[in-house]
Amino acid sequence: MPRSEPPSFGAGGKVVKVDRVEWIIMPDAATTAAALQLGEIDYWETPAVDLVPVLKRNPNVVVVSTDPWGLQTMIRPNHIHPPFNHPKARQALLWAVDQEEYLRAAAGSDPAFWKVCPAAFVCGTPFESDVGAEAVKEKDPAKRIATAKRLLEESGYKGDPIVVLDPTDFPMFHAAALLTAENLRKIGAKVDVQAIDWATMLQRRTKKDAPNAGG
């Protein structure tokens, strides 16, 4: 039974509007898209980017953004072990990133589904600030790469392989992982891309061993 007060985000009374919900797991995106268009399922929360144009052409399917804040993703370097235990290596990684490039790779070419934002605590919120975001706002690729190369050298990087975990069963993060590997190579890093499934990656990233020892 819901509480008597009106709903308010995660609080308040939650009134059930339907009799039954079935959560159907479909690992294959094309199968899910076909099921949606045939009326076999009613809702697909995160459709594959390359299938959105197909869904939009179907008059019986509505494609809409239901979240005004969106999803904020980030590259999470391992700050315990070299090279990213040195702040200049982490700064190099920041300078190597072109935010729009990642957005297009992960979310497609339609800017209706993404927004460039230099604020670490999300644009459009009371916490929005671009203080210290010079690297994120820099659009000159030559300057970005040159600065990133210099910072990586100053960090004392010795050319050891940098392990990039690539969750191949999560298309958005798979695209971002491959782009990260390419950007690291551009700034002079040796890269070891390790294909992995999402569940295994969640276990792997909590291990504090060195990357070459399974951490």
Q: Which residues of the chain have pLDDT under 70?
A: none
Taking only the tens place, the pLDDT of each residue in 159-210 is 999 999 999 988 889 999 999 999 999 999 999 999 999 999 999 989 999 9
Alpha helices in 124-215 (DSSP H): 134-137, 141-154, 171-186, 198-204
Residue 201 is predicted with a pLDDT of 93
Q: In this predicted structure, what is the pLDDT of residue 49?
A: 81
What pLDDT sits at residue 42? 95
Q: Tell me the pTM.
A: 0.81
Give the model's pLDDT for residue 162: 96
Alpha-carbon separation of residue 87 from 12, 50, 82, 208 (angstroms): 43, 37, 10, 18
Domain boundaries defined on the chain: 17-64, 87-207
Number of neighbouring beta carbons within 10 Å of residue 143: 12
CATH assignment, 87-207? 3.10.105.10
